[in-house]
A and B are shown apart, each in its own frame.
Chain A
Amino acid sequence: MSYRLIGAGGASGLALGPAFLRTAEAPVDDLIIEGQEAALVRLVEAQAMVANNMRVLAERERAVGRDDPALLFDFLSFLAEDTTLTDEITRHLHSGVPLSSAIDSATATFAAQIAALDSSYHRDRATDIAALGREIRAALHGRKLALPTPPPGSILVVAELSPSELAELPDDLAGLVTADGSPTSHTTILARARGIPTIVGVGRAALDIPVDAELALNGDEQVLLVNPEPHERATFLAQRMARPQVSAINGPTQLANGTPITLWANSSSPDEIARAISHGADGIGLFRTEFLFLERHTLPSEEEQYIVYRAALAALAGRPLVVRTLDIGGDKPLPYLGLPHEANPALGLRGIRILLHHPQLLVAQLRALLRAAVHGDLRIMLPMVANPEDLALGRRHIAEVAIALQQEGIAHRANILFGAMIETPAAAVTIDLLAPLADFFSIGTNDLSQYALAADRTVGQLSQRYPAHTPSVLRLVDIAVKAARSANRPISVCGELAGIPESAAVLVGLGIATLSMAPSCIPGVSTYLARHTADELHAMAEQALAYSGN
């Protein structure tokens, strides 16, 4: 029987191969060293050896043009020789414990301190410190931390992996699965840089994968299929074939019969825009702005926001930038706002509803957006719209902000395209009522399916049992598309569904001409769509509306 495991993050790519399990901790024998002075000498030697190993890795990465991984190894080499670390280990040594225990205790202390910080980027570094402790212990024995070499074409399954272990993996490894790890951990970042299809953060279930298992790893969607059935295997191989080898697409996307399709990218920070364009994005269809507000103590100023939006427009060089106003709420709290704790955040004060409590949030953001709009094709959309009053409120704020900027003599553009996210079933079935107040619509399929199916999509079992690609959700999309067409308003899709080739095909079959997705999904969707005619996609859509096949 096959089964699925879902990861927390990963590196893109599809891999099929035998599992190579290395889930047990390698035993580390205690080294008996007579006298604390001798132990200290051994420690400093071991630290120097680790630092040197890291420098070698840094140079190797730099030689092949991978500058970010090179800098990471630079940092690890500095960290290995840090006298702050030596002092802490020495302190433990003086309490009479063996050297290896002193290393463990000291690194555990630092890791715990760093793990307690309120920044996920810093928290991820705690695992680096723990890995460094293991490196230094191995160096005491004159060894490097190294895994047994996985056979060519296999998929390595490990509890966790240090940056150096990852750097030493052979090029012929097919894929990587880790129980620990997050999207911003160094394992993920290095695996991406090396182009190894990877899923991290699978959890303890990774450790129960049978020794002789075959694995189908989808790093794009972070889904691992253990012991795929013959038909699942065939589907997976077809998916892999459909995936273009090159990371960029050539020319604009069109269907086999010549119908043009616009592919946009979703982006959560200006840094990602260049990557989106290199993957073939015609614009940014969903620019999330939460990053400006999270992990800080105070609200970002209007000026700070203006600089970011302007930089994003500059990177896009004339392509459209659809900015979603702040979508924050009980599940992503901002401590400095003092939002009430909600028992049911998905149905609470989020998206446009935050305005009811904090209108100044939207005013500052709208001012920055209208000012930046002078520099490019900036459009604004409101999240979580449930009725026409929500949109009217947003419109009124834009008008007021424009008047204020005019009076203050500040350069801005008031005739900005203004749209609504369609992510509540209420909005999906009342497009005709929203249309007089909106210039465009964008369907957020993630929330739309969560609300339509009453299934929290962060609960793994539920998201598998109630996928978004299902007649109920697709019928809501169908209703919205038809109403938008009658009202002569453009409508696009910016949810995860848009990035899955088969689902994107059905959406196009329903009449969607613009899809916005994660940059890495663009080549696959473009290639898939180009193989089908509009008539074929329409037939696929009709079938999907009747029965999902799932």
Chain B
Amino acid sequence: MIETTVTIRNHYGLHARPAALFYRKIRQYRCAVTIQNLSRPDSAEVTVSPLHLLQIGVRQGDAVRLRATGDDADMVIADLMTLIETNFGD
């Protein structure tokens, strides 16, 4: 299992457009990815799905923990980090 914690810098947080890019990236891989919004104490760890991404309400400045298990877990995490660090191309 690969795990990483990262802060979302994107102006609007993780919804609609960034969420689409995020989820599309994960779909390219055959592994299970979970996300937890550490900045919301009542937010549980959930598998990454479009609805879950909206439910956990990631805002600009929130810290999230990503965990990936399965084939290419390290690669999917690396790809997601690139997306986050480039602010989803904004």
Binding site for B on A (CB under 8 A): 68, 71-72, 74-75, 78-79, 82-85, 110, 113-114, 117-119, 121-122, 125, 128-129, 186, 269, 271, 291, 295-298, 300
Contacts and interface: CB of A to CB of B under 8 A. Distances in A.
B57 A117 contact: yes
Main secondary structure, interface of B, reads helix
A473 B39 CA distance: 46
A110 B39 CA distance: 20
A72 B17 contact: yes
B39 A71 contact: no
A72 B61 contact: no
Contact of A296 (B15, B21, B52, B59): B59
A119 B16 contact: no
Interface string B22-60: 011001000000000001000000000111101101011
B51 A79 contact: yes
Nearest to B47: A84
B68 interface: no
Contacts of A300: 61
B49 A295 contact: no
Contacts of A297: 39, 61
A75 B23 contact: yes
B59 A78 contact: no
Given A72-B16, A296-B59, A82 B51 contact: yes
Contacts of B39: 297
Contact of B61 (A74, A110, A296): A296
A68 B21 CA distance: 11
A78 B13 contact: no
B19 interface: yes
A125 B90 contact: no
A118 B57 contact: yes
B84 to A, nearest CB: 15
A122 B54 contact: yes
Contacts of A110: 51, 54-55
A84 B49 contact: yes
A296 B15 CA distance: 15
A118 B56 CA distance: 11
10 contacts: A74-B24, A110-B51, A114-B54, A118-B57, A121-B15, A122-B15, A125-B54, A129-B54, A271-B11, A297-B61
- Most B CB atoms within 10 A — which of A82, A110, A118? A82
Contacts of B55: 110, 113-114
- The 3 closest A-B CB pairs, nearest first, are A75-B20, A117-B57, A296-B61
> Which one of B27, B51, B55, B57 has the greatest number of beta carbons of chain A within 10 Å?
B51
Given A84-B51, A297-B61, A122 B20 contact: no
Given A84-B50, A121-B12, 13 more contacts: A75-B16, A75-B17, A75-B19, A78-B20, A78-B23, A84-B51, A110-B51, A119-B57, A121-B13, A121-B16, A129-B51, A295-B59, A296-B59
B13 to A, nearest CB: 6
A122 B12 CA distance: 9
A84 B13 CA distance: 21
Nearest to B19: A75
Nearest to B24: A74
A410 to B, nearest CB: 23
A64 B60 CA distance: 30
